[in-house]
Every structure is written in structure tokens, then in C-alpha cells.
Structure 1
């Protein structure tokens, strides 16, 4: 058995071979860049108007209107002293423009423009290179592409990006008692739910499962199912069958398939019977079958590895500290990740901390970490990982 810190260190220290691939801009969200990016030109490429209004030559309150410039116009326009043109947001400002006045502060009579106030030199003009200059660094390798990143890359004319590939992930659930939701079930059977939780958690952080399989509690079936799953994935996530019961065949089946154990069992609650192994460049997590345990182990241990395999510079859920709303004592005998809700900057440990109880986790938004035997008073700070 290992400690939480030891388990996380083992995951962090894994040597990996990152793979990269070109991705169309519209498919690159959530991927990490595999190369450094520099701007191929100035942004903006030309002085342009930040407002719908009037481009002015000279600083006066009265001008001669001599034309109009719309966004996208490529013609060269030059103003003389005392002249103005109607201009629209994003349009290239004419030569000799000293300022742009927003239309709400103007009035027009025939061909004369009147301003409600004196203009200031340079106002409402977005200067060439004001955001980026040609050759300037934009993003470093490893930057995770969010929606604003995609917008910036698109503005640079980049339709395809070289990004780190995300791992192929297969999911196996085990259990004779499990029935697919929607199918009829008998007394003693339960509806399978863990694969939906794991699949949903993967999607929550920008990952997708490649294949999902359910296997009966049978040694040969488990061994064959693992063998098949390992043929088409980088990471295999198994739920159930990893404890020490008479029908728990996952650990032995992994050994039979050449998976080397890196750790088994973590001194924590929930999720003590957690397995992590490796076969060449493939990784396997065998999670406990209890729903809350399974999902907790995903957030704390599986997610960091998936992010590491995706080229992220930082991985794992960030930890925050919040004052607790009430006194609490950890009597579980192990360091614990507790289902919790952070509301208005304070954390509340929820009822229903059993490993099988998923309702409290569904209503919460955090995992609060409390050490073995730790006693907390109202207002004490608690480490929390936000999961929603």
C-alpha cells in the first residue's frame, strides 16, 4: 500500500513519448500546442477604427465631410486638414487621420460634421502592431488551446495547428450484477453507472473514450476482455473487480496480459483498492467498483496522467483553500477525499460519504481533503479540488 503522495509521484514520474499531429483549427480546442507560435505579421496589419464614427484630420469641432470608408475597403484614402470621412469599426483609417470620433458624439448638417466635444489625438484608433508585431512570440509549446486562443490563431490566418495527440482511452466495467440502463433487471441486479460517470468525466476535461465494454466476473472473460482492450488504446480504465473478493479477477488478468504493477492500494478513503500499471507505453488504472470511489480516483489520479500524456505543462485539478462552514472531525482512519459543496467562498462537507453514495457527489462541486484524525473548527481552511 502506498500513500496518496507516493501514488501521485509515481504517476508524475512516468516517462512518456508524446505524439503530435496536425489538427484543423475547429478541432484543436483543449489540445496542447506541439510547437512554439510566432506572429507571421503585425496585428492589426494596419491602423483601423475602433468605433463606428468619423475619421478626422486635425483637431477641431467642425469638419468637411468628404466620403466614407467601410470595413474591408482596400482603397487608399488621404485626408486634408479639416476633412473627415464616415468610418466603420475595423475599417482602415485614411492617411493623415489624427483621431476617430464615435458617431454618438456628432451631428451632421448637409456636408458639415459637428462634434459635441474636442477630439484627442489618437483616440479610437487601433494602431498597426498594437497587439502583436511580426515575429513576436504568441504561444509557447504546451499552451492549452482555449476559445480565445483559437480566435487569435484564426486571426493569424492559421487554419491548421500542430498539437500533441490525446491518448486513446478504453473503458471496461466488470460485474455479474450489472445491467445496462433501460434493460430489464432481476432482484439482486443493479444498473451499471460507472462507465457513464467515467465517460462523462472524460468529456468534462476534453477527452473521449474510444471503446466501452462490460465484462462478467469470470477469469477467462476478464483476461480476454483486457487483452482485446489493450490492442486499441493508450490508457485502459477498468471499474470494479480489483478488490480481494472471490470474483475479483482484474489484478490477476492484468498480470496474465503482461501489465506491470506500479502500485496497488492507496491509504485513503474512498478508493483504497486502486491499481496503476504499465505495459510498454500503455497505462492501466483499475478503479474500485463503488461509484463515488471510482469517480474520486478518476479526478485525483487518472486525470493527471491523461493530461500528462496530452502534453499539458500542468496537470491535475488545482487545489484551493476555503474556510469550512462547520466543525468536522475525520473519523474514517485514513486521509479522506470528502464530497463537498463550495458555496459563497465556504466549503461544506456533505452527508452521504459512503463509497457507494453518488447522490451527494452529484449535488456537490468539490472534493475536500481532510487528513486522518484531523479536527476542524468552523472557519479553518480546507484544501479542495473543484470538480464542477
Structure 2
């Protein structure tokens, strides 16, 4: 049995593989850039009006003769002379010779002549060529998480495809003769499965859509052959249940039978002590407890950072600090992960911490972390916590 910090270090050292793919912009939201993207154009690509108004030439007079109009998208070739103006609209190219654009609200037009109604000129209201980004400059750097704004920015540069870190194929393996699917009449001695849908939804939260959920009974042969198949077709296997030491806890045996190299088994923590991590070639294999809250907590603490590293996110949301509202004792000699709520810089520890109960996680936004060598944390003391994905 190892410490929390040792387990995190082992997982980190074995989940650094990267897979790159070229993908269309329409498919990359939530992905991470696999290489720098350089702009192939100036943005804006021409001198551009920042507003509706009049492009004028000169600064010696406040009156200008209007000689034409330029709309957005127009390629009319006009050169302004001193004292001349053209009507322009937001985003339109300004004519050669333009010194500024006068806001239409500040102008009066009479018989084809405009007069500026202020005493002096302010901003020139012209977006210069390459003002936002110049051709050849880095538009977005490798490692950038692509959200809607980032994708729109790349689209505005005329970029169609980018190199991104590939999302993993994840297999969720749920074992236990006692499990039934929701919606069926509950049989005596059975319970409804909740872990598979919980894990799948959490995976979707970070953009992992290629998820297979497989249910197996407590049969050594069935579990072993199922693991063999999943190892051929997955980047991650996340097993729920069957990882403890009972007679029918067969997952660890199935991993061993399929030559998965065990990196650790059991962590000195509560809840969720029975947790497994192993590797076979490039496949990361996790065995999580069957108790729903313990399964949720171990996914947040150990699996989620590994998944994020795989898809290119190096900053995997480490521990933060907040001030305790009430004192906490830890007589267990184990590290504790406690359901909690962080508000501002304070943290409230929830009363119900049963490893089998998800209900107390509904309002939680954090997991308070009490190290194994800490017996008491007094009210007002700063403690570590992890933000949780919900």
C-alpha cells in the first residue's frame, strides 16, 4: 500500500503518451493543439473601418466633400485627396489616403458635404493592416485548449485544419452479479448500477466521446476474456468494482492473466483504498472501487489527471488552498478525501462521508485533502483541496 503522493507520481510517469491527428476545425472544440499554428495572413488583411461613418483625408479642415461609398466586402478602388470623404461601414476597406474615419453620429451632411461637429479629431477609428496579428506570427501555441473563441479565431485566419492531440478510446468495465440496469424491476438482492453512467458523463465533460461500457458478471473466464478484448481496442480501461479482496473480486486477476504490468495496488487513503493502476504497452488500466462515492473520488483524483495529460493538458488542476470553517480530526493514519464546498477562500466539510453514498456529492465542488500524517486540522487553518468535475 502506497501514499497518495507516490500514487500520483507513478501515474504521471506512465501517462505521457501523445497521439496527434489532423482534424477539421468543426471537430476540434475541446481538443488541445498539438503544434504551433502560424497565421498565413495579416488580420485585418487591409486597412479597415472600425465603425459606420465617413473615411476622410486631411486634418486642416472640419468639412469634406463626399465622393462615394464603400460597403463591407467591397473592392472599389478609390484614392482620397485632401478634403475628400467617402461613406464607409464597419469592416469596410478604407480608401487610399484615408487619415481617419469620422463617426456618423458626429457628422452633419448637407448637399454632399460633411461637417465634423466637434472641435478636434479624436481616434482615427481605422484598424491597421495586421493590427490584430501579422502574417507569419504564432496565432495559437501548442498546448492551447481549443474553445469556441479559439476555433473562431483560427477560422477568421482562413485555417481549415489543425493538428490536435487525439482523444482516447476509453472502455468502462463494470462487474458484479448484483447489478441491474435502471428501469428494470429491482430483484431481491440486486442494486441498480450508477457507476457506468457517472463515469461516462464525466468523460464526456472533458470531451471524450469514444466510450464503450461493458458489463460482466462475477465469472473469472468472462472477465478475463473481456479484458483481453478491451486491451486490444482501448487507450484507457476503467474498471468499476471487483478490485477488492473478496472471493468474487476478480478484476485484478483478469489484469494479471492478460499480462498487464501492475504499477500499484491499494493506496493508504479513505475512502477508496482498493485502487489498481497498471500498464500494458500504451494502455493505461485503472481498477476503481465499486462503492459509488469512492469510485467518483478516485476517478477525480487519479484517472482525470491521467486523461488530461493524454489529451495534451499539462496543467492538470493540482491542489489549491482554502481556510477551514470547522476543525477536522483524522485518527485513521490514512489520507482523507472529504466531500466539501469551497466558497471564496473558505472550505466547508460535509457531514456525510460514506463511501457508498453519492447524494452528499451533489452539492460538492471540492475534495478536501487531509494527509495521512495529519491528525488534526484546526478551524481557520489552510488545507489543500481539489476542484471536482461534475
TM over 0.5: yes
The residue correspondences of 1:43-82 to structure 2 (distance < 5 A) are: 43-59=43-59, 60-82=61-83
More displaced stretch, 244-253 vs 369-378: 369-378
Aligned-residue Cα RMSD (Å) equals 1.9
Q: How far off its partner does 1:315 sit?
A: 4.1
Distance in 2 between residues matched to 1:306 and 1:4, nearest whole Å:
18
| Residues 123 and 302 (structure 1), Cα distance of their counterparts in 2 relative to 1, 3 Å cut | same
Name the residue aligned to 1:283. Answer: 284
Shift in alpha-carbon separation, 1:121–1:127, aligned structure 2, 3 A: farther
8 Å CA contact 1:199, 1:209 repeated in 2:
no
Secondary structure of 2:270's partner?
Answer: coil
Distance in 1, matches of 2:98 and 2:363, equals 58
SS of residue matched to 1:225: helix
Distance 1:239 1:329, change over 3 A: same
| Structure 2 residue matching 1:166: 3-state secondary structure | coil
1:99–1:121 contact (8 Å) kept in structure 2? no
Q: What TM-score do the two structures reach when normalised by structure 2?
A: 0.93
Cα distance in 1 for partners of 2:23, 2:297 equals 32
Q: Does 1:99 align with 2:81?
A: no
Q: TM-score, normalised by structure 1?
A: 0.94
Deviation at 1:249, TM superposition (A): 0.5
Instruction: Tell me: CA distance 1:77–1:197, structure 2 relative to 1, closer, same or farther (3 Å).
Output: same
Q: Unpaired segments of 5 or more residues in structure 2?
A: none
The alpha-carbon distance between structure 1 residues 72 and 334, as it changes in their structure 2 partners (threshold 3 A), is same
The Cα shift of 1:188 comes to 2.1
Q: Deviations over 1:297-326 (max 9, x none)?
A: 1111112221222233x1422332222233
Cα distance in structure 2, aligned partners of 1:338 and 1:180? 29
Provide the C-alpha distance between the structure 2 equivalents of 1:149 and 1:10, rounded to a whole number of angstroms.
33
- Match of 1:363, SS state, is coil
SS in structure 2 at match of 1:67: strand
Instruction: Name the CA distance, whole Å, in 1 between partners of 2:222 and 2:338.
Output: 35
Contact 2:3 2:269 in 1 (8 A): yes
1:91–1:259 distance in 2 versus 1, CA, 3 Å:
same
Unaligned runs of 5+ in 1: none
The aligned counterpart of 1:379 is 380
More displaced 10-residue stretch of structure 1: 107-116 or 201-210: 107-116
Instruction: Specify whether residues 354 and 333 from structure 1 end up closer, same or farther in structure 2 by C-alpha distance, changes over 3 A only.
Output: farther
1:320 maps to: 320
Contact conserved, 1:299 with 1:317, CA < 8 A, in 2? no
Contact 2:15 2:284 in 1 (8 A): no
Q: What is the aligned residue count?
A: 387
Report the equivalent of 2:252. Answer: 251
* Structure-2 change in CA distance of 1:44 and 1:380 (3 Å): same
CA distance in 2, matches of 1:104, 1:72: 23
Cα displacement (A) at 1:73: 0.8
Distance 2:35 2:364 in 1: 38
Task: Give 1:8's aligned residue.
Answer: 8
Deviation at 1:42, TM superposition (A): 1.3
How far has the Cα of 1:122 moved from its partner? Answer: 5.1
- Supply the distance in 1 between the matched residues of 2:266 and 2:120 (Cα, whole angstroms): 71
Q: 1:338-384: per-residue Cα shift (whole Å, max 9, x none)? A: 11112244221112111112111111111121223443333322222
Q: Structure 1 residue 138 and structure 2 residue 144: aligned?
A: no
Structure 1: distance between partners of 2:302 and 2:140: 28
- Contact map agreement 1:98 1:121 (CA 8 A) in 2: no
Deviation track 1:270-298 (CA, whole Å, cap 9, x = no partner) reads 21111001111111000111111111111
Does the Cα contact within 8 Å between 2:270 and 2:337 map onto a contact in 1?
yes
User: Where does 1:68-217 land on structure 2 (aligned, <5 Å)?
Assistant: 68-118=69-119, 120=121, 123-217=124-218
Q: Which residue of 1 aligns with 2:309?
A: 308
Separation of aligned partners in 2, 1:291 and 1:222: 20
Report the more deviating stretch, 249-258 or 57-66: 57-66
CA distance, structure 2, for counterparts of residue 119 and residue 42 of structure 1 = 31
CA change 1:322–1:103 in 2 (3 A) is farther
Following the alignment from structure 1 to structure 2, what is the Cα–Cα distance between the partners of residues 352 and 54? Answer: 67
Deviations along 1:159-202, whole A, 9 cap, x unmatched? 11122212111111111111111111113211100011111111
Match of 1:263 in 2: 264
Structure 2: how far apart are the matches of 1:325 and 1:118? Answer: 60
2:164 counterpart SS class: strand
| Whole-Å separation in 2 of the counterparts to 1:36 and 1:257 | 39
1:85 to 1:377, Cα distance in 2 relative to 1, 3 A:
farther
Contact 2:44 2:128 in 1 (8 A): yes
Q: 1:229 maps to which residue?
A: 230
Secondary structure in 2 matching 1:203: helix
